[in-house]
A and B are shown apart, each in its own frame.
Chain A
Amino acid sequence: MSAMVKDLSLCGWRVHSDWPLPELMPWAGDDRPADIVIRRGTVPGKLSGTVRETPLVQVSEQKWLRYSVRNVADYLVRGGKEVIIDTAHREDTPDVALFLLGSVLGFLCHQRGLLPLHASCVSFQGQVLVFAGPSGTGKSTMAALLLEKGARLLSDDVAVIDVHADGGPVLLPTFPRQKLWRDTLDALGLVPGRYLRRTVDMEKFDRPVLGPFDGTPVRVDRIYQLLARGRLDAVRLVPVDGLRAVRMLYENVYRRTAGGLLGLSDRIFQDCVALAMASPPQALSVPDGIGNLARTGVQLDRMLMVPR
């Protein structure tokens, strides 16, 4: 490990990383030892004692998790504390950090007993709003639109929830960066940062969010399940409760297949029950596409702020 590398902050963890992660804020907390260590090394092609695997994931009896993204990197994730990156790429290749701060963050959360949701999260008019949904439903776009109206970004794409925090579920903010496609950037007049992939041809960019970023855990006020309906007249907000609420949250658990390989399905389900009871989700139907979403404007703002 290089002594020159400054430690970083992610979800309130002190992160020591040999791999450069300019996306993360510097560590500004106490002098505790690193909670998570990330380093380059060799990851075996096959874990010894592998008990369960899918095409990209292997999980060993010790719950070590090996993750492979072809032509990018192999990652070994151990005990929620250590990540080894095995890659042929140089350290200025953004592709490696992209999957590290996506899937691998999800695996770390599962190993650490936290609930990662496939969601973007902002603080808007004093409320912490979580927008969950599969890729392509507009999570990041919704967050980007609200940032234009003065919201503060808490996390993009992966929202890490500590369901068992004292006083109820809290969100652990990740880092002040969005992943946005060219069409969204253009529609909002935003300047792209670096390409997220260098090894393939894709117009998807890092968008650093300027201004102060507060990594303090915050109570979750509202969870919205985004449903892209494709039509301008589609804006609708429907409360969900009971088993449907649990299921809705469960379907947004990030990396839940790997969570199952780690033997955590029951705990994930229980966490969804706890979260559904503390902060029941609402189904938010929105029109498909950035242009249509932007045109819903005031109507949408009002709807988001209606008391549940």
Chain B
Amino acid sequence: MISAVPQANVWLASYPKSGNTWMRIGLITLRDGGGSVDLGRMTNNIGIFLALRHRLDVALDIDSSDLSAEEVQLLRPRIYGLIDHQGRETTIWKIHDCWERTTDGDAMFPVEETAAALYLVRDPRDVAASFAHHFEVTIDKAIDLMADPDYRVAAKKDSCHFHLPQRYSSWSGHVTSWLDQSGLHPTLIRYEDMVADFAGALRRASAALDWNSDEAAIQATVAATRFDRLRAQEQAGNFPEGLGGERLFFRRGIAGGWRDTLSASQVARIERDHGTVMERLGYL
């Protein structure tokens, strides 16, 4: 189903909690013709997480855990010709990093390694509520982190995570890095449009990937990936990437939930921090 393309890498990029996993499930299902979804047995060859430490270590013959975050960052753009694609013509990589250059000036996600880029974006007021739930922080703390241009994860100096250090930047910084600075001209898909018309979002993603998806497969995918069905599978224990305990990954799946979750002052802070980009994306 995946057509031959000159380059092998597709970036499925977003700030966290912006529909990346949902789109990934949609694309897996669409690729397989729209059949039923089994979250416990996702073949995991769509939306593979790029920033796995092991991937870089194997490609470059180095223990990245013996390197500082700065040293790792310099090496990250150098793995592309060496990644084990396990026979895939195209690999769709799930990415939460902001787009940036290393201190050597190399692009983290270079044009010449890019077959296509999809960028998912979500109203930051909804991101804040979802982010707080996912990472178990207060909404105020989530708002702080979303405003931090130097926000990084897996970057502690006293412990090792199996993910590589990643810089998210601020929410606004993330958006503009991918849309304006990357030179990759990503296909922009809003979470709100996925909620309102998932078929339309899948058509756009499919076109960007140069897939020949027929309408029957699109419609079957929409039916198979309905939010309530995904959540039912998670509640039945069939989602390996779940959060554990009582917290659900598939929490609400709605657009505009911030209206009954955030206080007026929290809303005002987000709109002050990110107003310019929110306006540009139609959120204000």
Contact = CB atoms under 8 A, between A and B. Distances in A.
Contacts of B57: 134-135
A103 B66 CA distance: 11
Contacts of B63: 102-103, 135, 157
A181 B74 contact: no
Contacts of B203: none
B4 interface: no
Nearest to B245: A231
Contacts of B41: none
Interface stretch (A237-245, A250-258, A298-306): A250-258
Contact of A203 (B61, B67, B157): B157
Interface stretch (B159-167, B260-268, B276-284): B159-167
B166 to A, nearest CB: 14
A99 interface: yes
Interface in B47-71: 52-54, 57-68, 70-71
B162 A231 contact: no
A105 to B, nearest CB: 11
A257 B157 contact: no
B61 A54 contact: yes
B241 to A, nearest CB: 10
A67 B61 CA distance: 9
B54 to A, nearest CB: 4
B244 interface: yes
A138 to B, nearest CB: 9
Contacts of A166: none
B101 interface: no
Interface stretch (A41-49, A82-90, A193-201, A272-280): A193-201
Interface size class of A (residues with CB under 8 A): 35 or more
A196 B68 CA distance: 11
Contact of B61 (A179, A201, A202, A257): A257
Contact of A98 (B66, B68, B160): B66
Contacts of A201: 68, 157
A248 B58 CA distance: 14
Nearest to B77: A55
Contact of B66 (A67, A197, A228, A233): A197
A123 interface: no
B59 A257 contact: yes
Interface in A177-210: 179, 181-184, 196-197, 200-204
Contacts of A255: 61
A203 B155 CA distance: 12
A5 interface: no
Nearest to A136: B162
Nearest to A234: B244
B68 A200 contact: yes
B8 interface: no
A181 B53 CA distance: 16
B75 interface: yes
B103 to A, nearest CB: 12
A202 B60 contact: no
B78 interface: yes
A56 B157 contact: no
A204 B63 CA distance: 13
B68 to A, nearest CB: 4
A69 B64 contact: no
B65 A256 contact: no
Contacts of A67: 61
Interface of B: 52-54, 57-68, 70-71, 74-75, 78, 82, 156-163, 244-245
Give 5 closest A-B pairs by Cβ, nearest first: A136-B162, A134-B54, A182-B158, A200-B68, A203-B158
Given A55-B60, A204-B160, A233-B244, 11 more contacts: A55-B75, A56-B62, A67-B61, A99-B66, A103-B62, A134-B162, A135-B64, A135-B160, A136-B65, A196-B66, A257-B61
8 contacts: A54-B61, A57-B61, A135-B162, A137-B162, A179-B66, A184-B159, A233-B244, A255-B61
